[in-house]
A and B are shown apart, each in its own frame.
Chain A
Amino acid sequence: DTGVSQNPRHKITKRGQNVTFRCDPISEHNRLYWYRQTLGQGPEFLTYFQNEAQLEKSRLLSDRFSAERPKGSFSTLEIQRTEQGDSAMYLCASSFSGSSYNEQFFGPGTRLTVL
């Protein structure tokens, strides 16, 4: 296992289109997080899963955003009717709740550009 992977790495779409991103966490990690990072800013929390349960969603996650984690493995983040303001880097991270360290391992991100 080489770490958290995210696909695609880059996505260019036209305003109004739907997009879906995928995150594959480290296999033994039961926690999965989505963050969004805009240029010149730190990552901002979007949502969190423990196993397959989505336990918290940020106010940043409007009703156009939906995230799933079926079977507690990979996760998908879908954005419907994209807007130019959705352009950002979308980061996925995973961790293991049984670890005393609770270190989150981040994936390389998916850079979304909405034209």
Chain B
Amino acid sequence: AQKVTQAQTEISVVEKEDVTLDCVYETRDTTYYLFWYKQPPSGELVFLIRRNSFDEQNEISGRYSWNFQKSTSSFNFTITASQVVDSAVYFCALEADSWGKLQFGAGTQVVVTP
């Protein structure tokens, strides 16, 4: 069985603060992919990042960075120097099928105030 847990329901920060979103996943598959999606108030899910299970190298892309640790089944996501436009619900997702079905977590609401 596959499961994605996002324990944080809501995080509130002041602009320019860093925000780290936690994601813990469960899967029996050895090959899988992890994603982060953003859902702004408009409702459309926007792809942010993707990581495969063989690559634990952590990276930074602009203000986004992620920390993938297979040993703890965690895939955390950080927004550096948050901005008001970062206010949204962020979803972590797991893909362990060859044809792309995504298992989403419950999401974390990020509120960034000026």
What's the dominant secondary structure at chain B's contact region? strand
Is A43 part of the contact surface with B, judged by Cβ < 8 Å? yes
User: Given A101-B50, A102-B33, A104-B47 in contact, is the A42-B100 Cβ separation under 8 Å?
Assistant: no
For B, the interface residue count at a CB cutoff of 8 angstroms equals 22
Q: CB distance B43 to A43 under 8 Å?
A: no
Does residue A87 face the partner (Cβ distance < 8 Å to B)? Answer: no
Asked if A43 contacts B50 (CB within 8 A), the reply is no
Which candidate, B54-62, B66-74, B79-87, B101-109, is the interface stretch facing chain A? B101-109
Which residues of A are in contact with B by a Cβ distance under 8 Å? Answer: 31, 33, 35, 40-45, 48, 50, 55-56, 89, 91, 93, 95, 97, 101-109, 111
A sample of 7 more A-B contacts (CB under 8 A), given A45-B102, A102-B95, is A31-B99, A31-B100, A33-B100, A33-B101, A40-B107, A42-B104, A48-B100
> Could you list some 24 contacts between A and B, CB below 8 A?
A33-B102, A35-B102, A42-B91, A42-B93, A43-B91, A44-B104, A45-B101, A45-B102, A45-B103, A48-B101, A50-B99, A56-B99, A56-B101, A91-B45, A97-B100, A101-B50, A102-B50, A103-B50, A104-B100, A104-B102, A105-B47, A106-B44, A106-B45, A108-B42
